[in-house]
Structure 1
Amino acid sequence: MKRIYIIISMLSFMFASCSGFLEEYSQDTAYVRGYEDLDELLLGSVYMPTNAPEHMGYTYGTDGWYYPYIHLMTDEVQENIRSSSSGALWDARERYFGYYTWQQQVGIDALGTSIRKESSDWNRIYKHINIANMILASIDEQSTPKEEDELEVMRIKGEAYFLRGAYYFILVNLYGKPYTKTGAKNDLGVPIKNTEYIEDKVYGRNTVEEVYAQVLADLGEAEKCLEKTVHKSIYRADITATYLLLSRVHLYMQNWEMAESYAKKVLSKQDDLRDLNMMEGIPFFLDTTLPEVIFTMGMGGIRYTISGLPKDLGISDELYALYKDNDLRKSYFVKYNESGGYVEYVKGGAIADFSRTSLSANFLFRTAEAYLNLAEATAYQGKEDDARKALNDLRVKRLSVEQYANSEESGADLIKLIREERERELCLEGHRWFDLRRYMVCEKQPYTKTIRKSYTTFEYVSWTNVPVQTVVYQLEENDAAYTLPIPKEVLEYNTGMKNNERGVRPVVETINY
């Protein structure tokens, strides 16, 4: 007998967190009383939950953060090994060691003696997709006696399509190679499952091209459904969020004209930016009053991990060096801690403010990205005046007005500046890992780099964490480890599913203290 192996088909989950209106169901149908029930299901089980922010080490394998390791794998953060009387309570370097140092088995611990669960994000995201499938299968059957009912049904339908497209986009960028027009036809992405019922089959992987086609199809349906609906809040997707995601998807696919077009559509709807020259009375940059927020879902709280504590992580020297002295983000996004001797991430407020669950650290849409998408897409097309204008429209709100001057770069220097501006502006919002991947295969000015990560062991002596030994790992240019392996649990259950091959990651340097 064939077994149903891929975790996206687990019926028990599909209804476990639902309200009483889903208590009666068969394998492929669910009893609902109206579209309001489907809206409740959408909000509670398809959107990423907004949980209390916690240290990412603490949330390993729980329903807290989604794919937090994308922050650890980039060049944005580095470990802090300074001596101190106190250290991090939850060591993210240890709990995400295999991701942090790009190991062949990402679930492996620092000692190489055990393998942690690797499929948490795969499971949760496919579960969201499954419930979106259920909603899309039922939504057109709901009664709409009034025009406002029809609009509500269209909104629910549009949000479900948006979320399904967004989730496939996340998955293919975690587990598939970066999109190229020549390679996408054969490169393996992730399985596509759009049926609401359980299928008795072992799943294989669709190609990167097929997954991107699904993403565009879903977002196209979302666009049609949401263009006439009312935006409920920043916690619900709307037409502006759809435009921004379409701009990002086309940017990744190197469809420059479409990326430009959708970025302009975003800015025609919402072009607000917070002027850092006028921050008086505003304690920190990221909050629900930020006028440039378009959409957010999922957990915040990264500030509690990028803390600079020993056995923890802080802003990398490389990222900090990108901010010039006239850049106000050097105070409001990152800040040098004089007493501690390290760089803090301050964009989101206090380290351990557990009440700040309002904005996501992985899934936050801001108008700043639209300006950057527009600048990049037009620069690649040779529309340098348009690119400089989009870039300067952002920079004038980020640099000290007393020292501000418009960018005049052109050619390769302009593209380099746009990419650096993206790194500065969107730091630790979940973009950098995906940007590094797509720059590698960019037809216009391809770029790749070597990244080094250190892992230090400490001895606790006289109430102080003292570093004992540091080992260094290196991610090479164009490294296969820019693509995650398929979770081992998924491979075990889906016999024959092909993995993403990546080599053993050796220590390249050892430092003893």
Structure 2
Amino acid sequence: MKKINILLVVLTFGLSSCGDFLEEYSQDTSYVRGYEDLDELLLGSGYMPTGTPASFALSEEYIEKPWYYPYIHLMADEVSENITNTTNKGALWDVREKYFGYYTWQQSVGINYAQTSIRKEDNDWSMIYMHINIANMIIATIDNHDGKDSRDELEKQRIKGEAFFLRGTYYFTLANLYGKPYNAATAATDPAVPVKLTEFIEDKLFSRNTVQEVYEQAIADLLQAEELLDGTTRKSYYRANKTAAELLLSRLYLYMQDNDKAMEYADKVINAGDNSLQDLNAMDGSTSFLNPRLPEVIFSMGNGGVRSSITNYIADFGVSDYLWGLYDDNDLRKTYYVKWNDAESYAEYVKGGEVLDLEKTSLSANFLFRTSEAYLNLAEAAAYKGETSVAQNALNSLRKKRIRNSEYQDVTASGNDLIEAIRDERERELCLEGHRWFDLRRYTVNSVYPFSKTIQHSYTTFEYSWTTGGNVPVQTSVYELQPNDEAYTLPIPREVISFNVGMPNNSRPPRSIIKTINY
């Protein structure tokens, strides 16, 4: 039986969102009758599907609305395990167990706590490469379809631009999951992920391209997207536009420490003027911050609802003491992003709505572009360059929209103190949107002000108590991620390594328990 590389997924679709022609779609594109069909294919299978599964615990099934790397929220310092609460509420599903290997930085990320079973590790890898292959096919074939008039040609240009945007986006994401953080001194030799630009299935083993090669490909794709999307009109923020490409370019250049380019593209986003910052002083508390009418939303794809497993219930996750401690009392994000639950005595995450609200936010939990990031990118890049006033102005422009008017004061710090203030502000503003893990990685190789920290995560076993009518802790095991730890980079999924014989894996040391607490 002929082997097909695990990087690819044979494109057999039966998705109602893609139109009837996809029911018989094959690799030879014979059922594509025009650019409109390719637009449907892009929306239905090029973008991450939007929606929210019932819970993290069901995401393993990847049926209708798959999660994409939900563990990104669990590996850093934004959440912590909850062991007790005042009302004795227990978790509805055990996310800690499902993502134990990620949460505690294990050598085998699919392993469970008891070391008795291992889950699939290649769901995200396979899904993202499937999306990349869709983008490849659209880029390769769309010019074969003629438009009737200038409007049609502009639509073709938009579709092609979106495909380039998605391909660049996905390669950037994969590089930051499976490759080391970009370090100019080593990027040319550090392995990242395979780059595939052809639209057809190739019967061969793939090797890993370097971090530099993957970044260069992402830049080339995003620059193409910026050019092609200029002057086009999109239907909603679920479709990429020129501003989305420019914001991601700003982020990418910031990760590369190309501060001039990071500032240039952040300025483009800010000066576009069509996604103004939301002033929290003007909100009345009747809606959650992340809502479909939020003016600063530039682009969103993938799932929302991360708060369904950040509930502070027993055997669930809650806002970490570190994250809660970053917000001053005069910071309105202490109402609209996180807030104190007086009844149950804990800080809860409410950025996208109330905990366990069945009406999950329509905005993504790990793939959301907002204008506020452009201000933060500009401030950070300017601070690295020593352009203090530019950095202060960008930072304070954002803070004025977040701090209570009557108590607002400008940040006047400089040097490393200013860099620390910007990094803290980034965590306050972008908390639990998928940024923190990637930010911690890139701070370790920053040439101006490198930073890495020790992070501890615990895993507690429970037993049911008939006296209290709920779960009580039995034993807590503590795991530690050390500064500059190799575990800041995920291993290549074992399914990929098993097929691609000879593909080198990332070094990731075994992770032992450093402390045990018995109750």
**What TM-score comes out, normalization by structure 2 length?**
0.96
Deviation (angstroms), 1:133? 1.0
SS at match of 1:473: strand
Which residue of 2 is the match for residue 335 of structure 1? Answer: 339
Which residue of 2 is the match for residue 5 of structure 1? Answer: 5
Which residue of 1 is the match for residue 212 of structure 2? Answer: 209
- C-alpha contact (below 8 Å) 1:173/1:434 kept by paired residues: yes
1:508 aligns with 2:514: yes
1:60 aligns with 2:63: no
Q: Distance in 2 between matches of 1:482 and 1:476?
A: 9
1:112 aligns with 2:118: no
1:325 aligns with 2:332: no
Q: Distance in 2 between matches of 1:132 and 1:94?
A: 35
Number of matched pairs: 511
- C-alpha contact (below 8 Å) 2:12/2:25 kept by paired residues: no
- C-alpha contact (below 8 Å) 1:186/1:208 kept by paired residues: yes
1:467 aligns with 2:473: yes
- C-alpha contact (below 8 Å) 1:14/1:127 kept by paired residues: no
Residue of 135, 147, 152 corresponding to 2:155: 152
Which residue of 2 is the match for residue 361 of structure 1? Answer: 365
- 1:350-389 matched pairs, under 5 angstroms: 350-389=354-393
SS at match of 1:220: helix
Residue of 219, 223, 244 corresponding to 2:226: 223
**Code of the aligned partner of 1:39:** D
Residue of 142, 147, 151 corresponding to 1:139: 142
Please identify, of 14-23 and 334-343, the stretch whose mean Cα deviation from structure 2 is larger: 14-23
SS at match of 1:330: helix
Q: Distance in 1 between matches of 2:202 and 2:13?
A: 17
SS at match of 2:462: strand
SS at match of 2:57: coil
Deviation (angstroms), 1:51? 2.1
Which string of whole-angstrom CA distances, capped at 9 and with x for unpartnered residues, describes residues 448-498 of structure 1? 001000001111112211011101000000000000000011111111111
**Code of the aligned partner of 1:431:** H
Deviation (angstroms), 1:31? 2.6
Which residue of 2 is the match for residue 31 of structure 1? Answer: 31
Q: Distance in 1 between matches of 2:27 and 2:58?
A: 36
- C-alpha contact (below 8 Å) 2:51/2:362 kept by paired residues: no
- What stretches of structure 1 move > 6 A for 4+ residues in a row? none
Deviation (angstroms), 1:342? 1.6
- C-alpha contact (below 8 Å) 1:24/1:30 kept by paired residues: no
Which residue of 1 is the match for residue 294 of structure 2? Answer: 290
Q: Distance in 2 between matches of 1:125 and 1:14?
A: 16
Q: Distance in 2 between matches of 1:192 and 1:399?
A: 44
Q: Distance in 1 between matches of 2:201 and 2:44?
A: 21
**Code of the aligned partner of 2:56:** M
Please identify, of 172-181 and 28-37, the stretch whose mean Cα deviation from structure 2 is larger: 28-37
1:499 aligns with 2:501: no
- 1:177-188 matched pairs, under 5 angstroms: 177-188=180-191
SS at match of 1:343: strand
SS at match of 1:110: coil
Residue of 49, 70, 73 corresponding to 2:72: 70
Which residue of 1 is the match for residue 267 of structure 2? Answer: 264
Q: Distance in 1 between matches of 2:119 and 2:331?
A: 41
Q: Distance in 2 between matches of 1:30 and 1:381?
A: 53
1:171 aligns with 2:174: yes
Which residue of 1 is the match for residue 348 of structure 2? Answer: 344
Deviation (angstroms), 1:331? 1.2
Which string of whole-angstrom CA distances, capped at 9 and with x for unpartnered residues, describes residues 342-374 of structure 1? 210011112222333410001000000000000
Which string of whole-angstrom CA distances, capped at 9 and with x for unpartnered residues, describes residues 218-272 of structure 1? 1011011001111321110000101000000000011000000000000111351
Q: Distance in 1 between matches of 2:139 and 2:441?
A: 32
1:455 aligns with 2:463: no
Change (3 A) 1:454 1:25: closer
SS at match of 1:106: coil
Q: Distance in 1 between matches of 2:283 and 2:27?
A: 55
**Code of the aligned partner of 1:478:** N
Q: Distance in 1 between matches of 2:25 and 2:289?
A: 46
Q: Distance in 2 between matches of 1:340 and 1:458?
A: 20
Residue of 197, 201, 211 corresponding to 1:198: 201
Q: Distance in 2 between matches of 1:407 and 1:102?
A: 36
- C-alpha contact (below 8 Å) 1:22/1:30 kept by paired residues: no
Deviation (angstroms), 1:135? 1.0
Which residue of 2 is the match for residue 88 of structure 1? Answer: 91
Q: Distance in 2 between matches of 1:75 and 1:20?
A: 45
Q: Distance in 2 between matches of 1:130 and 1:330?
A: 42
- C-alpha contact (below 8 Å) 2:318/2:348 kept by paired residues: yes
Q: Distance in 2 between matches of 1:376 and 1:275?
A: 22
**Code of the aligned partner of 1:32:** V
Deviation (angstroms), 1:26? 5.7
Change (3 A) 1:488 1:272: same
Ranges in structure 2 where 5+ consecutive residues have no aligned partner: none
SS at match of 1:231: coil
Which residue of 1 is the match for residue 496 of structure 2? Answer: 490
- C-alpha contact (below 8 Å) 2:194/2:209 kept by paired residues: yes
Which residue of 2 is the match for residue 232 of structure 1? Answer: 235
SS at match of 2:397: helix
Q: Distance in 1 between matches of 2:386 and 2:23?
A: 58
Deviation (angstroms), 1:204? 1.0
- C-alpha contact (below 8 Å) 2:267/2:374 kept by paired residues: yes
Which string of whole-angstrom CA distances, capped at 9 and with x for unpartnered residues, describes residues 51-80 of structure 1? 234322331352521000010001000011
1:309 aligns with 2:295: no
**Code of the aligned partner of 1:3:** K
Change (3 A) 1:333 1:261: same
Which string of whole-angstrom CA distances, capped at 9 and with x for unpartnered residues, describes residues 415-470 of structure 1? 00000000000000000000000000011100000100000111111221101110
Q: Distance in 2 between matches of 1:66 and 1:26?
A: 26
Change (3 A) 1:212 1:61: farther
Change (3 A) 1:503 1:281: closer
**Code of the aligned partner of 1:156:** I
Residue of 431, 435, 440 corresponding to 2:439: 435
**What TM-score comes out, normalization by structure 1 length?**
0.97
Which residue of 1 is the match for residue 402 of structure 2? Answer: 398
Q: Distance in 1 between matches of 2:262 and 2:208?
A: 27
**Code of the aligned partner of 2:209:** N
Which residue of 2 is the match for residue 481 of structure 1? Answer: 487
Ranges in structure 1 where 5+ consecutive residues have no aligned partner: none
**Code of the aligned partner of 1:129:** I
- C-alpha contact (below 8 Å) 1:53/1:302 kept by paired residues: no
